[in-house]
Structure 1
Amino acid sequence: MIGKYRDQFNSTFSEEKYSSFLKTLESGLTNIPFRVAETPIFIPSDLQKKLVEAGEEIIKLIKQPNFKELTKDSIPANWNVPNENEHPHFLTFDFGICKDPSGHLVPKLIEMQGFPSLYGFQPELGRIYKESYGLASGLTPFFNGINEQSYVDLLKKVVLGNYAPHQVALMDVDAPNQKTAIDFLITQKYLGIKILSLTDIFKEGDALFYEEKGEKVQLRRIYNRLIFDEVTDKTDLFIESFDPRDEIDVEWITHPNWFYRISKYTMPFLKSEFVPETHFLNTLTEIPADLENYVLKPLFSFAGMGVIIDVTKADVTKINDPENWILQRKVVYEPVIQSPDGGVKAEIRLMYLWADGEEPKLCINLARLSRGKMIGVRYNKDFDWVGGTVGLMEG
């Protein structure tokens, strides 16, 4: 979107450079099972300012004293985890890039999460884009004057706290085989922590342990990457390991309840030029006549699963749990990224770190390019110049 960088990038792009970039990205780590886009996004300063402003408006809501009361019904009763802390350690806000009536670029909120994203992978991705394509040294994926070292220092503070790396583990249901395993490995490189699957952990009393070279090591903190949606029908795994819903002597980074509190559930409470009109389905007094301008989303789903894009009245009326759905005005993405054969739509995720005793800090971003009906890798399998990427800004 910054014309001089886009023109230069496109004029010197080649498939050979792209292949070399991917090879470098995976080198010494693991194969990447999701599509990484050919190009970064070059974010202009006016759009950057609007993204920052939009994020600040959302954080104001999250910091309201009554936020927990507002979102008390967001947590499914069967997944309520005890000992919730006062704030999430991670915030991620996804914005579609659109145009306003005056033709200016404007971000529109699509999704939000109180859950970690690719906090290890994104700085590495930005650095390798710059190196592989010979991009200007002043371009950065970071906000607020952060550089790679200060970012890693803050990530350590958030994830490790006062504990040694061996007392902290990144946990997922089957960590080595997750699509995001490359992020896990880079995070381990930065922080020195363990990567554990759920069944690598066992419980004695109310303490959690893992085994290392025949010795048991107590876990004091879990950098949680486990989404409960993924284990709803696999709770037998808890018998082999531990049940997160039990009283256990461990700190969650971040606590699982925040996944639900800061989510699609939060969007109806936001009133902003950057947030599309959103309603809980059970609060509608009448179904809008122009349903073609809305999208229907289940509250408790992940990665776009269950979303109905072309909504009909029948879709709305057949829902038997309307309290678990939202109706949201569609966002019209503008194909603002110029590829060699036309425009591509973009989404930018703002990624915050919130250390204990401090304020949330906007650190880095994640971006996705799309030609399909929905943003997301699974919806763009047959296209090029799509997939995961990062936004670079002039420092």
Structure 2
Amino acid sequence: MIPEIRRQFNESFSNEKYEALLAEIERDFPTQLDFRIAETPVFVPQSLKIKLLQACNDIIDTLVKDDFKAKTARAIPANQDVPNEDAHPNFLAVDFAVCHDEKGELTPQLIELQGFPSLFGYQWYLGQKYKKFFFSPKNFSQYFNRLNMASYVEHMKKVLLGGEKAENVILLEIYPEKQKTRLDFEISKQLWGIEPVCYTKIKKEGRKLYYEKDGRKIEIKRIYNRLIFDDLLQNFPDLETEFKMTDDVDVKWVTHPNWFFRISKFTLPLLNSPFVPKSYYLSDLKEYPTDLENYVLKPLFSFAGSGVKLNFTKEDLDAIEDKENYLIQRKVKYEPVIEDTDGNLIKTEIRLLFAWEDSAPRPRLVTNLARLSRGEMIGVNFNKNFDWVGGSCAFFED
């Protein structure tokens, strides 16, 4: 995206450096890396950065409106409504495809957004590894709002711990040691002292929750929630646990599970911005657009891209019985803009990551992640057996 920077990076790149980076991660965290790291970071020019920031402001303007909760009440499934919802999520992730506009200039287009945390620990770690092993230009940063490597960690600590002792804050997952994101859990533990705790290991006494560590029973006061209901329902439908996520308990959720539904694909039709493709709830359409080939069909209540259809017909839409659970979104054309060392061009998606303190009126943009793809869609299933694809980190021009 910045030709001179890309040229310098590619000239300095070698497979030996890439293998050395992977080897260091394995030494730091043996057997914990379970997803592909791209060979390159993404270097974002200031012109695209400005558009990304404007796009996020447009989106957040909708999220902070007084009527947002009323408009998204239907997003929360009745059997997954968790008590004690707070005023806003503590974390927000916003995914943009990098595209070209009608003038041929780089522009972001929203793909998805989540009222849910992402790889806040791992990205801090990965950014450092890219800078250590590869060409790192001056005046580029993975952080925003005057944060740096150290102040980012401190800011995240404030949001995660909320003034509590680290041992009273847990990272909640189902069998965290088996999750592909377990490397992020380990880094989060090192940075902020938050113990990854399995859903099955939590004990409940009245409205209090506890976990055991080193033979001690420790009260849980805050839950850094990384557990997705869909994961439980699809993969562990018969799981019996002492604590249920829908229990009324005396803890602070970080982020509260209801925000996973409120700020999601469900939110897309509510947004209005030149950087947000038009979206419609299927149940609201009296007539379908005549150019359905330019739309993608998405189930409202799924994750990790499951159920998305890139090609469908009017008859396919007519056959859907629960139309209230689907939307159509105008397709986005990812523009291949990153050149590898062989001259091939690669698509990229940039996820901007926000942290939102309890008392703050708006979330604060803190860092990012990026993903590179040669396939039809972003994601592992579309990029098997390719190089220069996978998870990455973006460095933004100051």
Q: Same fold (TM over 0.5)?
A: yes
Work out which of the residue numbers 370, 378, 391 in structure 2 matches 1:375.
Answer: 378
TM-score by length of 1: 0.97
User: SS where residue 92 of structure 1 aligns?
Assistant: strand
SS at 1:82's partner residue? coil
Matches within 5 A, 1:6-155: 6-29=6-29, 30-155=31-156
Question: Matched residues in 1 for 2:245 and 2:277: separation?
Answer: 35
> What residue identity is the alignment partner of 2:7?
D
Asked if 1:273 is matched to 2:281, the reply is no
Residue type matched to 2:394 in 1? G
**1:209 is aligned to 2:210:** yes
What letter is aligned with 2:345?
Answer: G
Matched, 1:321 2:328: no
Q: CA deviation at 1:257?
A: 0.1
What is the deviation of 1:195? 0.9
2:333 counterpart SS class: coil
User: How many angstroms apart in 2 are the aligned matches of 1:21 and 1:173?
Assistant: 29
* 8 A contact 2:117–2:226 mirrored in 1: yes
Structure 1 portions without partners, runs of 5+: none
Whole-Å separation in 2 of the counterparts to 1:236 and 1:242: 14
Shift of 1:352: 0.4
Determine helix, strand or coil for the equivalent of 2:370.
strand
Is 2:192 aligned against 1:191? yes
Structure 2 Cα separation of the partners of residues 5 and 241 of structure 1: 54
Contact between 2:58 and 2:272, CA under 8 Å: does it hold in 1? no
Corresponding residue for 2:350? 348
Question: Shift in Å at residue 135 of structure 1?
Answer: 1.5
TM-score normalised per structure 2: 0.97
Distance 1:302 1:240 in 2: 23
Residue aligned with 2:120, SS? coil
**Residues in 2 aligned to 1:259 and 1:24: alpha-carbon distance in whole angstroms:** 34
| 2:254 corresponding residue in structure 1 | 253
How far residue 235 of structure 1 moved from its aligned partner, in angstroms, is 4.8
Letter in 2 for 1:360: P
On the 8 A contact 1:126/1:140 being kept in 2, the answer is: no
Q: Note the C-alpha offset of 1:379.
A: 1.8
Structure 1 segments of 4 or more deviating over 3 A?
none
Tell me, yes or no, if the aligned pair for 1:291 and 1:311 is still in contact at 8 Å.
yes
Shift of 1:236: 4.0
> Matched residues in 1 for 2:24 and 2:315: separation?
50
1:226-237 superposed matches below 5 A: 226-233=227-234, 234-237=236-239
Q: CA deviation at 1:281?
A: 0.4
| 1:122 Cα deviation after fit | 0.7
Distance 1:235 1:294 in 2: 33
Query: Residue 173 of structure 1 corresponds to which residue in structure 2?
Result: 174
Deviation at 1:3, TM superposition (A): 1.7
- Deviations along 1:48-90, one digit per CA (max 9) or x if unpaired, are 0000000011000000011100101000111000000000000
5+ residue gaps, structure 2, are none
Moved more, 156-165 or 30-39: 30-39
Aligned match for 1:365, one of 368, 384, 395: 368
Say which SS state the counterpart of residue 158 (structure 1) adopts.
helix
Look up the match of 1:392. Answer: 395
Size of the aligned set, in residue pairs, is 394
CA offsets, 1:142-163, max 9 Å, x none?
A: 1122101111111111110021
